[in-house]
Amino acid sequence: MTAERSFRKEVEQLRLGAGEEFWGEGILAVTKALLQSGVAYVGGYQGAPVSHLIDVLVDAEPLMDELGVHVETCSNEASAAAMLGASINYPLRGAVTWKSIVGTNVAADGLSNLASPGVMGGALIIVGTDYGEGASVIQERAMAMAMKSTIWLLDPRPELQKVVDITEQAFALSEATSAPVMMELRVRACHLQGSFTARDNVAPTVSTRAPLAEAAPFDYSHLAHPPVTFVQEKLKVSERLPAARRFIVEKGMNEVFEGEGGEIGIILQGGLYNGLLRRLQALDLGDAFGESRIPLLVLNVTHPLVPEQITDFCKDKDAVLVLEEGNPEFIELQVNTFARQAGLKTRILGKDVMPPAGEYIAEVLEEGLQAFLRETGVQGGGGRKGPSMADIRAEGGESLGQALPPRPPQFCTGCPERPVFSAIKILERDIGKVHIAADIGCHAFATFEPFSMGNSILGYGMSLASAAAVSPFQQRRSISIMGDGGFWHNGLATGVISALLNRGDAVLIIMQNGFTSATGQQAIPSSTLGRDGKPLAVDIEKTLVALGVPWVRTVRSYSVSVMVAALRAALTTPEKGLKVIIADGECQLVRQRRVRRETAANLKDGRRVAVERYGVDEDVCTGDHSCIRLSGCPSLTVKPNPDPLRNDPVATVVESCVGCGLCGEVAHAATLCPSFYRAERVRNAGAAERWLHRLRRRVIGWLQGGAAA
């Protein structure tokens, strides 16, 4: 599934037996916990921060085969959610994974239809909740989905043994209550390093090695279809909810840390535990070993809450702070309700001292804690022991001497998607601005300087669909941009088929780089090779032609002049209907990994290796930097002008250049100055080549000497 990347070490960890120590990342610990739980099938769609789970299982194919576990790399999250249907009729434990919120939204239909009949075998959904600073997730949605669909929601305290135990308990909880269980794994929990004591892997009783002899008998009560859904809706509340609350208490899934007791306490989502402890320590309210002086109720299960557990914790306290990320404050509202219904006088604080939305990073937690202590008049504690986050930031700034400049993310050097935006920029100089519907994927980097392109981003693979209501109101055709990953995920059905159905007259550019690159180069249906290393037969151009798309062109993405011509034709042709340009160019990150390996092998065997590099002739460069503004390549920068009579810095190509040729192509397509040159650095050159090189140097030396004379 993955391109050129090996998870050999991780796969070895999956084989650990009882009593051995596992050491590694949180997401890998979850992967091992699945195997220890006797999971029979695993599926998912890639996305940060959970891609690793499926990547590793795919690489662990021999182990999966030994255990009889089926692994499916799904075409999107809806197909992953639908897989869990296997647990409705059969005693099979299954797990699927994706990135929330996009994944949970895409899977929503399947999830609610799974939750309705409920499950027989444990069904676990692992969602990567990459919410907050540096994440692409707009909002926290798992809680709302879980509450409205009667899916239990786990948010384990980020400590590897706890994460593993909760994962294993999740299957038992699902089976004891006939309900699917969702486990949120925050980005910090996924990448947390730590250890736990492994248990033996458990081969599922029903598996690919021990298949069922008979299909399940017809049972109408297991269908998510009216009228039986009316009964199921009642069962969710009358049977499954009380059963879940009993299980949570009996198995001790939530944790109380008594601290030093006292009149205040904190109820928190499990995932916030580590951040909170660190700030408590800084305020002299906790220590480095994870002991809090303030009593804590850690909710490793955030839905359902257990009313008695909440009121037991609150009953002796004057005030309790609820730490809950996201908005609205579902947990805080319930805690308030439980406390009032039990007749408690305990004051419940939450969003009144914490920000209404956004990630609870260190500064936010620290300020919120201090506000809580002030509000409640508690003066004990707060004798600060560690530096405040403000101090840490100030010290960092001082040691650097100055503030760091902002570094927005951008395309990799030599990315095949960058030239397409250069081509659009060049064309727009002739025909004017067009509406651009952008999409999720690496190509979204074009929304930053120097391209600043994209009027909307409305979902993964949804650019063409989003342009449907825009195009009819534009004099110029709109351009929708989509990656090949987005095309297969959603764009084919929501965009292309819909455009054919409605005789849409838009232009679609599909970036065909061969993988879902932004998530780690996982294979897609049109990848050259599948996860088994064998060629895949699905071709985007053939698919479009077969569907009846009237105008399809495949253009090498680095050929800027050809791309400009194709775009011009697509935007101006009198021919009506959908026009698709497939911008073809292998993901440069994948290419570089491959080339580095091939180069190393060739050098080792003494074979000739030639590496292309581009450069700028500083005597010719006019210093207007159009090339930089049009290509945006980070390897193309400026340096002082060597000519003492000229002030403008000249363009220059730095060592990180991968020789993609875009700068030269742009200079040609936009008819800029002829300052770019291409050179080859040859290693292990042959005798004839060396002789020619010596001759050239002599002639050049002679010419230079002659010129000097």
Is 660 a binding residue for ligand SF4 by CB under 6 A? The answer is yes
CA distance linking residue 317 with residue 314, whole number of Å: 5
HEC states along 671-708? CCCCCEEEEEEEECCCHHHHHHHHHHHHHHHHHHHHHH
Given 71, 636, 669, 670, the residue binding ligand SF4 (CB under 6 A): 636
Q: Which of 509, 660, 695, 503 lies closest to 586, judged by CA? A: 660
Indicate the helix (H) or strand (E) that contains 615: strand 609-616
Reduce the DSSP state of residue 636 to 3 states and report it.
strand
Is 442 a binding residue for ligand SF4 by CB under 6 A? The answer is yes
Is 659 a binding residue for ligand SF4 by CB under 6 A? The answer is yes
CB of 443 to ligand SF4, least distance (A): 8
User: Encoding tokens for residue 562?
Assistant: 């050809």
Q: What are 320's strand-pairing partners?
A: 265, 348
Reduce the DSSP state of residue 664 to 3 states and report it.
helix
CB of 664 to ligand SF4, least distance (A): 7
Our CB check for ligand SF4 shows the closer of 178 and 517 to be 517
Which strands sit side by side in the sheet containing 436-438, from one edge to the other? 456-457, 436-438, 479-483, 507-512, 579-584, 551-556
Contacting range for ligand SF4; rule: CB under 6 A; set: 44-52, 393-401, 650-658, 683-691: 650-658
Contacting range for ligand SF4; rule: CB under 6 A; set: 4-12, 116-124, 524-532, 633-641: 633-641
Indicate the helix (H) or strand (E) that contains 194: strand 193-197
Is 563 a binding residue for ligand SF4 by CB under 6 A? The answer is no
Is 512 a binding residue for ligand SF4 by CB under 6 A? The answer is no
CB of 430 to ligand SF4, least distance (A): 22
Our CB check for ligand SF4 shows the closer of 542 and 678 to be 678
Is 414 a binding residue for ligand SF4 by CB under 6 A? The answer is yes
Given 434, 631, 670, 675, the residue binding ligand SF4 (CB under 6 A): 631
Given 10, 165, 184, 417, the residue binding ligand SF4 (CB under 6 A): 417
Our CB check for ligand SF4 shows the closer of 13 and 422 to be 422
Given 185, 364, 633, 670, the residue binding ligand SF4 (CB under 6 A): 633
Contacting range for ligand SF4; rule: CB under 6 A; set: 191-199, 233-241, 286-294, 656-664: 656-664
Backbone angles phi, psi at 553, to 5 degrees: -130, 140
CB of 662 to ligand SF4, least distance (A): 4
Our CB check for ligand SF4 shows the closer of 26 and 520 to be 520
Is 411 a binding residue for ligand SF4 by CB under 6 A? The answer is yes
CB of 615 to ligand SF4, least distance (A): 9
Our CB check for ligand SF4 shows the closer of 270 and 585 to be 585
Is 479 a binding residue for ligand SF4 by CB under 6 A? The answer is no
* Cα–Cα distances in angstroms (integers) from residue 317 to residues 193, 296, 310, 336, 379, in the given order: 35, 12, 12, 14, 16
> Up-side HSE of residue 379: CA atoms within 13 Å toward CB?
0
Given 60, 412, 423, 427, the residue binding ligand SF4 (CB under 6 A): 412
582's CB contacts (< 8 A; 6+ apart) are: 509, 510, 512, 540, 541, 552, 553, 554, 555
- Indicate the Cα dihedral angle 351, 352, 356, 361, nearest 10°: -70
> Count of residues binding ligand SF4 (CB under 6 A)?
26
Interface with ligand SF4 in residues 573-612 (CB under 6 A): 587-589
Our CB check for ligand SF4 shows the closer of 99 and 579 to be 99
Contacting range for ligand SF4; rule: CB under 6 A; set: 313-321, 359-367, 408-416, 462-470: 408-416
Given 517, 522, 526, 675, the residue binding ligand SF4 (CB under 6 A): 517
Q: Which of 73, 120, 47, 88 lies closest to 519, judged by CA? A: 47
Is 47 a binding residue for ligand SF4 by CB under 6 A? The answer is no
Our CB check for ligand SF4 shows the closer of 119 and 663 to be 663
Per DSSP, the residues of 217-253 read: PP-GGGS--TTHHHHHHHHIIIIIHHHHHHHHHHTT-
Our CB check for ligand SF4 shows the closer of 51 and 635 to be 635
Task: Tell me the pairing of strands 296-299 and 255-257.
Answer: antiparallel
CA distance linking residue 60 with residue 100, whole number of Å: 25
Please, what sign has the CA dihedral across residues 389, 394, 395, 400?
Answer: positive
Our CB check for ligand SF4 shows the closer of 149 and 422 to be 422
Contacting range for ligand SF4; rule: CB under 6 A; set: 68-76, 126-134, 136-144, 631-639: 631-639
Is 487 a binding residue for ligand SF4 by CB under 6 A? The answer is no
Our CB check for ligand SF4 shows the closer of 274 and 622 to be 622
Is 438 a binding residue for ligand SF4 by CB under 6 A? The answer is no
* Cα–Cα distances in angstroms (integers) from residue 700 to residues 674, 696, 705, 706, 707, in the given order: 21, 6, 8, 9, 10
138's CB contacts (< 8 A; 6+ apart) are: 101
- Indicate the Cα dihedral angle 541, 542, 543, 544, nearest 10°: 50
For the chain, state the CA radius of gyration: 30
CB of 309 to ligand SF4, least distance (A): 46
Task: Tell me the pairing of strands 436-438 and 479-483.
Answer: parallel
Is 614 a binding residue for ligand SF4 by CB under 6 A? The answer is yes
CB of 436 to ligand SF4, least distance (A): 18
Is 415 a binding residue for ligand SF4 by CB under 6 A? The answer is yes
Question: Taking a C-beta distance cutoff of 8 angstroms, is the pair 333, 368 a contact?
Answer: no
CB of 640 to ligand SF4, least distance (A): 19
Chain residues in the site for ligand SF4 (CB under 6 A): 411-415, 417, 442, 513, 517-518, 587-589, 614, 631, 633, 635-636, 653, 657-663
